[in-house]
Amino acid sequence: MSPRRAYRSDLSDGQWALIEPTLTAWRAARRGPGTAARVHDLREIVNALLYVCRTGIAWEYLPHDFPPYKTVYDYYAKWEADGTTEALHDLLR
- Number of Cα atoms under 13 Å in the Cβ half of residue 51: 23
pLDDT of residue 3: 77
Closest CA to 87 of 2, 35, 78: 78
Assess contact for 65 and 4: CB atoms under 8 A: yes
pLDDT of residue 25: 95
In a domain, residue 82? The reply is: yes
In a domain, residue 79? The reply is: yes
- What pTM did the predictor assign? 0.89
In a domain, residue 1? The reply is: no
pLDDT digits (tens, 9 = 90+) for 19-58: 999 999 999 998 765 455 578 999 999 999 999 999 999 9
In a domain, residue 81? The reply is: yes
In a domain, residue 33? The reply is: no
Residue ranges making up the domain that contains 74: 41-93
Number of domains in the chain: 1
In a domain, residue 92? The reply is: yes
In a domain, residue 49? The reply is: yes
